[in-house]
Amino acid sequence: MSDDSPQLGPLQGRELALNDALSRAEDPLRQSLAQNTRRAYASDWRDFSARCQAHHRVDLPALPETVALYLTTLAESHKVSTLTRRISAISQAHQAAGFDPPTQAPVVRQLMKGIRRTLGTAQTGKSPVKVSTCAPSPPASIPVALSTFGTGR
C-alpha cells in the first residue's frame, strides 16, 4: 500500500513548523498588552496615519522627521502624557511590522526633551492634609490615663 500524501522537503517542513509555532504564539503575544492599551494604541495609530496621509507623508515606515512634525503639532493642544503614549503606539506599530522605530531617533528624543521642558511634566500638587483636620480630638480622660500609666494606680 502506498502513501499518496505529498512528501515535504526539509525546507517546507521547517516552514510549516515555524508557521505552527507562530500561530501558537499569537495569543500570548496579544495578551502581553492590556485590552485598553491595545485599544488606545490602535486609536493613536489611526490618528498618526490619518495625519500622515493628510500631509502626504509615509506612515510605515515613518521617517523620524515625520514623527517630529506630528509631535510638534500635537504639543500645541495635548499634554506630554498623551504625546508619550502616541510615541509608544508609533514605536509598537513599527516593531510589529519589522521596522526600527523612528521614535528612537535623536531628533525625536531631543524634541520630546524640549517639549517636556516647555510644557512641564510636574504634577499639580495638593495642599497637605493636617492631622487636626482629619483626626478627632482625643477624649479629655486620655492625658490623665497616660499620666498614671506605669505608676500602679
73: domain CATH number?
A: 1.10.150.130
Q: Report if residue 39 sits inside a domain.
A: yes
Give the relative orientation of helices 80-96 and 64-75 as an angle to the nearest 10 degrees.
160
- Taking the C-alpha atoms of residue 71 and residue 135, their distance in angstroms, rounded to an integer, is 47
- Taking the C-alpha atoms of residue 66 and residue 94, their distance in angstroms, rounded to an integer, is 14
- Chain position carrying cell 493636617: 130
Q: Report if residue 16 sits inside a domain.
A: no
Q: What is the pLDDT of residues 93-145, one digit of tens each?
A: 999 999 999 999 999 999 999 999 998 875 566 777 776 666 666 665 556 55
Q: Report if residue 113 sits inside a domain.
A: yes
Q: Report if residue 68 sits inside a domain.
A: yes
Q: Report if residue 11 sits inside a domain.
A: no
Number of domains present in the structure of the chain: 1
Q: Report if residue 21 sits inside a domain.
A: no
In sequence order, the 6+-apart residues with CB closer than 8 A to the CB of 80 are 115, 116, 119, 120, 121
Mean pLDDT of the chain: 81
Q: Provide the percentage of residues in the chain whose pLDDT is more than 90.
A: 52
Q: Report if residue 1 sits inside a domain.
A: no
* Domain with 48 in it: 33-121
Query: Does residue 94 contact residue 101 with C-beta atoms inside 8 Å?
Result: yes
In sequence order, the 6+-apart residues with CB closer than 8 A to the CB of 83 are 71, 74, 75, 112, 115
Q: Report if residue 96 sits inside a domain.
A: yes
Residue range 46-59: average pLDDT? 97
